[in-house]
């Protein structure tokens, strides 16, 4: 299958089945804007919940945070974003279209009209807004371009509230905004996105050990959400290309249909951020080691995940085509843990009240322990199977006339299409086997 065709098929399925819609589509859309539909929200929440459980709730050295999106603008001056958060911009002299200069196949020629491209200039990607009734320099604010600074700005608060011992981390899931010059590749590069980030505070001498620990934990997470190691690789960012705050960064790259691109990052940020905020705020942001009797600014390891990119990678990884019953079938081979619907329950015939009533009874029973279950009686049984396959539902349960006699149901496996009879009282065990 051509990679371009694959991307088109995935985008089409995502809209048709309620995963992702074009933002503001009713009014012609908005570039780089996407809305997550009912199944998209479920998939995205599953990914976030797995991340939160693995990296925050299941650990004794982690704390959660939800910082505000709009912060004091001095935060962004201290972090360096006001001065350095830029992309190279180039404008066509003929059609006035603007592009990221580093993404142009030909630096001299416009990819749209063929006109001559102007010279590059820096473009700050932060989205500005105004707070209050007056629109002047005193009311200037920014929508945060990353969630990390909210953690650094709250370092002292967490120290004062919980008195944690090093090493410890703070995890956060939240929205961030970047005024991308050219949003592209479906939901891969957008102006509004969601991040799952951790700032893990350590002693400088131990940074290599904890960097390696987090590298291994990232691979465990990727395996948990069902991403194949064959499609993900590590790119060690060259020293000359590192961000101003980083001493070492690994980009975990995924084989997207449009090419290998960054999925998430792991960075050693040194103590740059806390040092800057301490300097700009005039507040000491240090850690006191009682055993050694020394005070110092901790260093930081940062694993940073983009929810949208992870969502897209999971979709791409799950998309499968095969042949079943002599027909080509496309379906989403989701890992059970991330599937937005775990099980669908049907009556064999929707015009038989006794079957519908029994199916409703089984559905109510299953939904108590597997909330991501649905009842489906729309169309014939074959169409229901195909619909559930396409949205990635691992199991379908059909209530038929035999159910009324012996309290068994037909359990169908998504991947193989195999069916077997299972007692209703044993159904939960079979469904939770994954």
Using an 8 Å Cβ cutoff, are 339 and 251 in contact?
A: no
Q: What is the pLDDT of residue 262?
A: 94
Q: How big is the CA angle at 344 (ends 342 and 350), to the nearest 5 degrees?
A: 175
Give the model's pLDDT for residue 86.
78
pLDDT band at 222; cut points 50, 70, 90: very high
pLDDT at 34: 93
How does DSSP classify residue 55?
A: I
Residue 361: pLDDT band with limits 50, 70, 90? very high
Q: Which runs of E-coded beta strand occur in 80-155?
A: 86-91, 98-100, 121-124, 127-130, 140-143
pLDDT value of residue 388: 96
Q: What are the extents of the domains in the chain?
A: 3-81+126-316, 86-124, 341-431
Give one word for 259, left, alpha or beta, with left for phi > 0 and alpha for psi -120 to 50: left
Beta carbons within 8 Å of 148's beta carbon, 6+ residues apart: 197, 199, 273, 302, 304
* Average pLDDT value over all residues in the chain: 92
The residue among 259 and 48 whose pLDDT is bigger is: 48
| Measured distance CA(46)–CA(193) in Å, rounded | 17
CA distance 8 to 48: 26
What CATH topology corresponds to 3-81+126-316? BirA Bifunctional Protein; domain 2 (3.30.930)
Q: What is the mean pLDDT of residues 201-209?
A: 96
Please give the model's pTM, rounded to 2 decimal places. 0.91
Distance from C-alpha of 9 to C-alpha of 335, rounded to nearest angstrom: 20
Residue 370 has pLDDT above 90, yes or no: yes
pLDDT at position 2, please? 64
Q: CB–CB of 184/284 below 8 Å?
A: no
Answer yes or no: is pLDDT of 327 > 90.
Answer: no
**Which pLDDT score, from 0 to 100, does residue 321 have?**
92
pLDDT in tens, 79-108: 988 887 777 888 888 888 888 888 888 888
Q: Does pLDDT of 249 surpass 90?
A: yes
* φ, ψ (nearest 5 deg) of residue 119: -75, 155
Is the bond preceding residue 167 a cis peptide, omega within 30 degrees? yes
The whole-number pLDDT of residue 142 equals 92
Q: What tens digit of pLDDT does each residue of 264-295 get?
A: 999 999 999 999 999 999 999 999 998 888 99
Q: What is the mean pLDDT of residues 101-122?
A: 87
Digit-coded pLDDT (tens) for 27-59: 998 888 999 999 999 999 999 999 999 999 999
Q: Could you tell me the two tokens for 34?
A: 């996407």
Q: Radius of gyration over alpha carbons of the chain, in Å?
A: 25
Q: What's the Cα-to-Cα distance from 102 to each of 25, 87, 108, 121, 180, rounded to whole Å?
A: 30, 8, 12, 11, 13
Q: Helices (DSSP H) in 225-350: which residue ranges?
A: 272-281, 307-318
Q: Which pLDDT value is given to residue 433?
A: 56
Distance CA 340, CA 350 (A): 24
pLDDT (tens digit, 9 = 90+) per residue, 287-320? 999 888 899 999 999 999 999 999 999 999 999 9
3-state class (DSSP) for residue 419: strand
CATH architecture type of domain 341-431: 3-Layer(aba) Sandwich (3.40)
Q: How confident is the model at residue 147 (pLDDT cuts 50, 70, 90)?
A: very high
The predicted model gives 230-244 an average pLDDT of 91
Q: What is the DSSP string of 192-222?
A: EEEEEEEEEEE-GGGHHHHHHHHHHHHHHHH
Residue 224 CA to residue 53 CA, distance in Å, equals 12
Decide if pLDDT at 1 tops 60. no
């Amino acid at each position: 299958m051509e990679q371009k065709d694959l991307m088109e098929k995935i985008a089409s399925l995502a809209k048709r089945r309620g995963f992702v819609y074009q933002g503001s589509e009713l009014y012609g859309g908005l570039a780089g804007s996407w809305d997550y539909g009912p199944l998209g929200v479920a998939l995205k929440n599953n990914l976030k919940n797995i991340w939160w459980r693995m990296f925050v709730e299941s650990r004794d050295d982690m704390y959660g945070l939800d910082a505000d999106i709009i912060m004091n603008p001095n935060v962004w001056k201290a972090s360096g974003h006001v001065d350095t958060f830029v992309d190279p911009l180039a404008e066509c002299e003929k059609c006035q279209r603007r592009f990221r200069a580093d993404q142009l196949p030909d630096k001299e020629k416009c990819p749209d009209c063929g006109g001559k491209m102007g010279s590059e200039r820096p473009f700050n990607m932060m989205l500005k807004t105004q707070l209050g009734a007056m629109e002047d320099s005193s009311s200037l604010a920014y929508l945060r371009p990353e969630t990390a600074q909210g953690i650094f700005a709250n370092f002292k608060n967490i120290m004062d509230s919980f008195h944690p011992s090093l090493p410890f981390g703070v995890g956060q899931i939240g929205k961030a905004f970047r005024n991308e010059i050219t949003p592209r590749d479906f939901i891969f590069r957008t102006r509004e996105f969601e991040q799952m980030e951790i700032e893990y505070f350590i002693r400088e001498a131990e940074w290599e050990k904890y960097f390696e620990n987090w590298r291994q934990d990232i691979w465990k997470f990727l395996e948990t959400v069902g991403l194949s190691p064959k499609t993900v690789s590590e790119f060690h960012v060259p020293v000359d290309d590192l961000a101003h705050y980083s001493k070492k960064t690994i980009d975990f790259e995924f084989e997207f249909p449009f090419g290998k691109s960054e999925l998430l990052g792991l960075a050693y940020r040194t103590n740059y951020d806390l040092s800057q905020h301490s300097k700009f705020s005039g507040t000491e942001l240090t850690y006191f080691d009682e055993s050694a009797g020394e005070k110092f600014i901790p260093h930081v390891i940062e694993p940073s995940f983009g929810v949208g990119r992870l969502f897209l990678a999971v979709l791409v990884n799950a998309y499968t085509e095969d042949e079943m019953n002599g027909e080509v079938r496309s379906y989403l081979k989701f890992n059970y843990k991330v599937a937005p619907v775990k099980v669908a329950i049907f009556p064999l015939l929707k015009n038989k009240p006794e079957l519908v009533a029994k199916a409703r009874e089984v559905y109510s029973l299953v939904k108590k322990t597997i909330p991501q279950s649905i009842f489906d009686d729309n169309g014939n049984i074959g169409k229901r199977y195909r619909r559930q396959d396409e949205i990635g539902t691992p199991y379908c349960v059909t209530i038929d006339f035999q159910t009324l006699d012996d309290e068994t149901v037909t359990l169908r496996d998504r991947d193989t299409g195999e069916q077997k009879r299972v007692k209703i009282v044993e159904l939960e065990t079979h469904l939770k086997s994954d």
